[in-house]
Every structure is written in structure tokens, then in C-alpha cells.
Amino acid sequence: MQTTGLGAAVPDATPASLSAGDLLAGSRLVHEVRVPGELLRPGEPGAAGGSVRLRPLSVGAMAVISRAARDDASLVPLLMLREALVEPALSLDQVRQLHVGLVHFLVGEVNRASGLSAEGEAFDAALQSPAARAHLLLARHFGWTPEQVAQLTPGQVMVYLSGIERLLAFEQGHGRDAR
């Protein structure tokens, strides 16, 4: 609180700084999600529902999922569920056996628990950030894992990106000369 010249208290205009614990707190939560009976047993009117427990996906988990599903994008929702489901914990083979409607519902709930909309728009927007594009470019160009890219310092990222730009410019110029 700040005070005015008249001694009246005025709330600070700037919010309090967050600690690392504040930022990480949400990723440690486990969410209980009610699953309607109609989703568990489609076509059975009055089927009993139930609940599952899931955790939000971290950036690291999404990086590993993206890398694992690089050749087959249809694996992304399955790997997301495999990673997020706490109770019951399911193997990838078990997740593959779930029906599509249930997978769609659960992926929407995982997205919500992870701070995204049900369709994952916030994640799509995050992928458009310069930092994300740089990480994806480095991983793809050098064949690095997301974990290896995440360990780079900002200075190292700049050096490697500069090197990639020069290499691409050289390759483009060299290709034109050969024609």
C-alpha cells in the first residue's frame, strides 16, 4: 500500500512478484473430473458415470509428447492421456482401446486442467512465440531432444540460430549458383 499526501492508503498499482513456488503450484495439482455415464457407455441410457483423477501437463511433458509423436500426430491425444491420467493410470495400449468420444472428452479436460481451452488454443498460441519457434527450429535442425534444447542458455540459442540462418542463406545462394 502506498499513501497519498493526505495520509490515505492507496493500493499499489503493480501486482506482487511471484515466486518459483507460486508459478509451479498449479502443475502439482491433481484434478478430479466427473465422467458422465453416457460417455463411459454410449448407447446405454442411464449408465452410471464415475470420475478420474488427472494432472496438468507440463511444458516438458508436451515437448516429449511432441517429439514422440513427430511421425504420427494421431498419437498426441493418446500420449497426453497416458501422461495426465493419475487414477486410473493406463498404459498406452489401454489408452488406445478407449472409444473416440471418451478420448475427446478426457483430452478436453486435460487441456482445461493444464490452463488451456478445451481445444488447446493457448498451446497453439504458445507455439507461435519466438522462443518456441527457436526451440523447435534448433531441435529439428540439429536433431536435439527438447530436453537438450531446454538446457541451452539464451546466448547459446542466439549463436546457434545465427549459425542456422547463415547456413540456410549459404545453401540458398549456393543452390541458385548451381542452376
- How much is the pLDDT for 151? 77
With b for 16 or more beta-carbon neighbours within 10 A and e for fewer, the 113-127 pattern comes to bbebeeebeebeeee
The answer, as to whether pTM is greater than 0.85, is: no
Taken in order 60, 114, 116, 75, the sign of the CA dihedral is positive
* Distance from C-alpha of 139 to C-alpha of 147, rounded to nearest angstrom: 9
Fold topology of 2-128: rbstp2171 (3.30.2220)
* Short-list 58, 86, 17, 72, CA closest to 147: 58
In this prediction, residue 53 carries a pLDDT of 92
pLDDT of amino acid 122: 57
Give the pLDDT score at 130.
Answer: 72
Residues in the chain: 179
Q: Which residues pair with 35 in a beta bridge?
A: 50
Domain spans, the chain:
2-128, 129-179
The set of cell numbers assigned to 21 is: 513456488
Residues 53/31, Cβ–Cβ less than 8 Å? yes
Distance CA 171, CA 140 (A): 17
Task: Give CA–CA dist 60/150, Å, rounded.
Answer: 9
pLDDT per residue of the chain (179 residues) written in tens, 0 to 9? 555 455 555 555 566 777 777 777 777 778 898 988 888 888 888 888 889 999 888 888 888 888 877 787 777 888 888 988 999 998 889 988 888 888 888 888 888 887 776 555 555 666 666 767 777 777 777 777 777 777 777 777 777 777 777 777 777 776 555 44
